[in-house]
């Protein structure tokens, strides 16, 4: 019978917290960049200017057809070279975090853009007509009328995607970057307590994601109640 020994966890907490910060940093930067670039992609996709629409469609389909772990690996292999070349960096500068952030951001933008596109399309066409009839330009109609309504409807989906993204950050282990999962793995490996550490890490992921989804659900209820009346 396997004897659990949790004693290596308390001492490792500061190190694990450092890892958690890396995970959160990657999540946050990818969410922000993903929403901004995703919005741009969604608007290109819906634009009557064909080349823009093709570019956005190509981008989204490409990233959605490749496993995230491969994207990360490529970015791990390529981006450091590029960054070093471009900024004349010391070969010892650690750019793994930056390249992971860029990889996630570009990848997640593809998913965010699909959510945002659906959100924009969920706003009735008559709203654009009404805005145009009042003399608003297309950009004004988008910014003042369509996007605010689209985002209000999309918040639950955007947050749910952020939760998935937070879980996916564990894939940066391919670049040996010490995110939360990587940190837990390292500690477990060092102390020969892999099972305990991975169980602990799993519990932490579960608690965070479960709490976050409950919050999303509560927000969604409020939103539905608001729309109903």
Partner 1 sequence: MISIDTVSKHYGSFQVLTDCTTQVKKGEVIVVCGPSGSGKSTLIKCVNGLEPFQSGTITVNGVSVGDPKTNLSKLRSHVGMVFQHFELFPHMSITDNLTIAQEKVLGRNKDEARDKGLKLLDRVGLKAHAAKFPGQLSGGQQQRVAIARALAMDPICMLFDEPTSALDPEMINEVLDVMVELAQEGMTMMCVTHEMGFARKVANRVIFMDKGQIVEDDSKDAFFGAPRSERARQFLAKILQH
Of the residues 24, 97, 136, 209, which one makes contact with partner 1 according to CB under 8 A: 136
Nearer of residues 91 and 135 to partner 1, judged by Cβ:
135
Phi, psi (rounded to 5 degrees) for 206: -60, -45
Contact between 153 and 122 (Cβ < 8 Å): yes
Q: Which of 18, 10, 39, 5 is nearest to 177 (CA)?
A: 18
Q: Which stretch binds partner 1 (CB under 8 A): 65-73, 114-122, 125-133, 163-171?
A: 125-133
Interface with partner 1, residue 62, by CB under 8 A: no
140 binds partner 1 (CB under 8 A): yes
Q: Per rule CB under 8 A, is residue 224 in the interface with partner 1?
A: no
User: Residue 190 interacts with partner 1 (CB under 8 A)?
Assistant: no
Q: Is 134 in the site for partner 1 (CB under 8 A)?
A: yes
Binding segment toward partner 1, per CB under 8 A, in 32-40, 96-104, 146-154, 168-176: 146-154
Cα–Cα distance, 13 to 183 (Å, whole number): 10
Minimum distance from residue 145 beta carbon to partner 1 (Å): 6
Cβ closest to partner 1, residue 73 vs residue 136: 136
Q: Is 227 in the site for partner 1 (CB under 8 A)?
A: yes
Q: Stretches 8-16, 46-54, 88-96, 145-153: which one binds partner 1 (CB under 8 A)?
A: 145-153
Is residue 132 near partner 1 by the rule CB under 8 A? yes
Handedness of CA 74, 107, 34, 184 (dihedral sign): negative
DSSP letters of 170-227?
A: GGGGGGT---HHHHHHHHHHHHT-HHHHHHHHHHHHHHHHHHHHHHHHHHHHHHHHHH
Is residue 89 near partner 1 by the rule CB under 8 A?
Answer: no
CA–CA distance, 186 with 19 (Å, rounded to integer): 11
Tell me: does residue 145 bind partner 1 (CB under 8 A).
yes
Of 88, 87, 104, the closest CA to residue 170 belongs to 104
Size of the site for partner 1 (CB under 8 A): 20
What sections of 65-179 are H helices per DSSP?
68-87, 96-122, 125-133, 138-140, 147-168
Q: Residue numbers of the site for partner 1 (CB under 8 A)?
A: 124, 126-127, 129-137, 140, 144-145, 148-149, 152, 227, 229
């Amino acid at each position: 019978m396997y004897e659990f020994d949790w004693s290596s966890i308390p001492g490792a907490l500061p190190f694990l917290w450092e890892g958690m910060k890396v995970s959160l940093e990657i999540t946050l930067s990818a969410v922000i960049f993903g929403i901004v670039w995703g919005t741009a992609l969604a608007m290109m996709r819906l634009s009557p200017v064909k080349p823009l629409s093709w570019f956005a469609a190509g981008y989204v389909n490409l990233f959605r057809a490749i496993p995230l772990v491969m994207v990360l690996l490529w970015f791990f292999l390529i981006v450091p070279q590029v960054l070093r070349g471009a900024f004349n960096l010391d070969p010892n500068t650690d750019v793994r975090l930056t390249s992971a952030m860029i990889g996630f951001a570009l990848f997640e933008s593809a998913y965010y853009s699909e959510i945002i596109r659906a959100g924009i399309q969920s706003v009735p066409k008559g709203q654009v007509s009404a805005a145009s009839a009042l003399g608003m330009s297309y950009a004004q109609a988008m910014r003042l009328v369509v996007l605010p309504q689209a985002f209000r409807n999309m918040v639950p989906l955007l947050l749910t995607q952020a939760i998935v993204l937070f879980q996916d950050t564990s894939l940066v282990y391919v670049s040996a970057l010490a995110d939360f999962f990587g940190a837990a793995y390292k500690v477990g490996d060092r102390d020969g307590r892999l099972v305990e550490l991975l169980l602990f890490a799993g519990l932490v992921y579960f608690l965070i994601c479960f709490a976050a989804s409950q919050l999303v659900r509560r927000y969604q209820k409020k939103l539905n109640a608001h729309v109903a009346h």
